[in-house]
Amino acid sequence: MHDFQRSSLLSKTTFIQRVNTAGGVAPTTACTDAGAIAFVPYTTDYIFYRAAH
């Protein structure tokens, strides 16, 4: 493990909650190319939790 991973602000996160989500509707057409990537814009707020010590 790298030093930055051990000391990361989020390294002790145990649960992430996504709230106030808007957008993010899946494409209406089928995927025709294997490995294709579809970018779907959305906005949201994330709440990060960690277990009590």
Q: Residue 53 — pLDDT band, cuts 50, 70, 90?
A: confident
* Whether the Cβ atoms of residue 44 and residue 19 lie closer than 8 Å to each other: yes
Domain-located, residue 48: yes
Write out the residue range of the structural domain in which residue 53 sits. Answer: 12-25+37-53
pLDDT tens-digit readout, 2-26 = 555 566 788 889 999 999 999 999 8
* Whether the Cβ atoms of residue 15 and residue 49 lie closer than 8 Å to each other: yes
pLDDT tens-digit readout, 25-40 = 988 888 888 988 888 9
Domain-located, residue 30: no
CB atoms within 10 A of CB 34: 5
Domain-located, residue 4: no
> Residue 48's closest CA among 17, 6, 5?
17
Domain-located, residue 7: no
